[in-house]
Amino acid sequence: MSEISNCVRRLRFEHNEMTQEELASRVGVTRQTIIAIESGKYTPSLGLAFRIARTFNRGIEDIFTCEDK
């Protein structure tokens, strides 16, 4: 079993305090999904993870980390 954590919230603030709504529209999901990702309630698909990484000009592994339990 592995747990995926992320630093999307921190990156949003580092990018001119980007709002959840703005990030959601950039990556093509709803704001609720961004909230769920930030709180760890939703593990995004690979495609969405790539889109989020590109938005912040980072690699996927810089944003999402997988920890084995």
Site residues (CB under 8 A) for other proteins?
28-30, 32-33, 36, 40-48
Toward other proteins, which CB reaches closer, 10 or 41? 41
Toward other proteins, which CB reaches closer, 13 or 46? 46
Minimum distance between the CB of residue 68 and other proteins, rounded to whole angstroms?
A: 16
39 in Cβ contact with 7 (< 8 Å): no
> Cβ–Cβ contacts within 10 Å for residue 43, how many?
15
Toward other proteins, which CB reaches closer, 46 or 67? 46
In the block, residue with structure tokens 């592995």: 2
R_g of the chain, CA atoms, integer Å: 11
